[in-house]
Amino acid sequence: MIINKNAIKVIAFDADDTLWINEPYFQKAEHDFCALLENYLPQHAVSKELFETEMNNLSLYGYGVKGFILCMIETASRISAGQLSLKTINKIIAIGQDLLRMPIELLEGVEDTLVRLSAHYKLIVATKGDLLDQERKLKNSGLQKYFHHVEIMSNKKNEDYIKLLNKIECPAENFIMIGNSINSDVLPVLELGGQAIHVPYHVTWTHEQASDEVKPINFLQVESLDQLLPILL
Amino acid sequence: MIINKNAIKVIAFDADDTLWINEPYFQKAEHDFCALLENYLPQHAVSKELFETEMNNLSLYGYGVKGFILCMIETASRISAGQLSLKTINKIIAIGQDLLRMPIELLEGVEDTLVRLSAHYKLIVATKGDLLDQERKLKNSGLQKYFHHVEIMSNKKNEDYIKLLNKIECPAENFIMIGNSINSDVLPVLELGGQAIHVPYHVTWTHEQASDEVKPINFLQVESLDQLLPILL
CATH code of residue A67? 1.10.150.240
Long-range contacts of A37-46 (CB under 8 A, 24+ apart): A37/A76, A37/A79, A37/A80, A37/A88, A40/A79, A40/A80, A40/A81, A40/A83, A41/A79, A46/A75, A46/A79
Asked if the model's pLDDT at residue A218 lies above 80, the reply is no
B94 at A interface, C-beta within 8 A: no
% of residues, chain A, pLDDT over 70: 96
> What does the pLDDT average to over B207-224?
73
Comparing CA positions, the residue from A5, A1, A2 lying closest to residue A233 is: A5
Asked if the model's pLDDT at residue B211 lies above 70, the reply is no
Q: What is the pLDDT of residue B185?
A: 97
Tell me which of A212 and A220 has the higher pLDDT: A220
Tell me the pairing of strands B122-128 and B149-153. parallel
Q: Which residues of A touch B67 (CB under 8 A)?
A: 66
> What does the pLDDT average to over A38-58?
96
CA distance A222 to B113: 52
A62 at B interface, C-beta within 8 A: yes
Mean pLDDT estimate for chain B: 93
Number of A to B CB contacts under 8 A, please give it. 86
Asked if the model's pLDDT at residue A106 lies above 60, the reply is yes
Mean pLDDT estimate for chain A: 93
Q: What is the pLDDT of residue B114?
A: 98
Contact B9, B122 (CB under 8 A): yes
Asked if the model's pLDDT at residue B99 lies above 80, the reply is yes
Asked if the model's pLDDT at residue A212 lies above 60, the reply is no
Domain stops at, among A100, A133, A166:
A100
Asked if the model's pLDDT at residue B212 lies above 60, the reply is no
> What's the CATH code of the domain at A164?
3.40.50.1000
B80 and B153, same domain (yes or no): no
CB contact under 8 A, A154 and B131: yes
B164 and B215, same domain (yes or no): yes
Q: How confident is the model at residue B208 (pLDDT cuts 50, 70, 90)?
A: confident
B160 at A interface, C-beta within 8 A: no
Q: What is the pLDDT of residue B126?
A: 98
Long-range contacts of A157-163 (CB under 8 A, 24+ apart): A157/A188, A158/A188, A158/A191, A158/A192, A160/A188, A161/A126, A161/A188, A161/A189, A161/A192, A161/A194, A162/A192
> What does the pLDDT average to over B29-54?
96
% of residues, chain B, pLDDT over 70: 96
> What does the pLDDT average to over A109-118?
97
B119 and B44, same domain (yes or no): no
B200 and B226, same domain (yes or no): yes
A58 and A155, same domain (yes or no): no
B80 at A interface, C-beta within 8 A: yes
A109 and A203, same domain (yes or no): yes
Asked if the model's pLDDT at residue B213 lies above 90, the reply is no
Selecting from A61, A84, A90 the residue whose C-beta is nearest the C-beta of B66 gives A61
Q: Which residues of A touch B135 (CB under 8 A)?
A: 154
Q: What is the pLDDT of residue A213?
A: 59
A56 at B interface, C-beta within 8 A: no
B174 and B191, same domain (yes or no): yes
CB contact under 8 A, A82 and B84: no
Is the complex ipTM higher than 0.95?
no
A113 and A222, same domain (yes or no): yes
Q: What is the pLDDT of residue B219?
A: 82
Interface of B with A in 102-121 (CB under 8 A): none
Q: Domain containing A94: what range?
A: 24-100
Question: Number of folded domains in chain B?
Answer: 2
A112 and A204, same domain (yes or no): yes
Q: What is the pLDDT of residue A216?
A: 58
% of residues, chain B, pLDDT over 90: 86
Selecting from A80, A84, A97 the residue whose C-beta is nearest the C-beta of B60 gives A97
Tell me the pairing of strands A122-128 and A10-13. parallel
A119 and A146, same domain (yes or no): yes
> What does the pLDDT average to over B118-127?
97
Q: What is the pLDDT of residue B59?
A: 95
CB contact under 8 A, B60 and A85: no
Selecting from A67, A87, A167 the residue whose C-beta is nearest the C-beta of B82 gives A87
Asked if the model's pLDDT at residue B216 lies above 60, the reply is no
A80 at B interface, C-beta within 8 A: yes
> What does the pLDDT average to over B58-75?
96
% of residues, chain A, pLDDT over 90: 86
CB contact under 8 A, B86 and A82: yes
> What does the pLDDT average to over B77-101?
90
Domain stops at, among B84, B100, B116:
B100
Asked if the model's pLDDT at residue B218 lies above 70, the reply is no
A179 and A119, same domain (yes or no): yes
Asked if the model's pLDDT at residue A101 lies above 90, the reply is yes
B128 and B148, same domain (yes or no): yes
Domain stops at, among B69, B100, B131:
B100
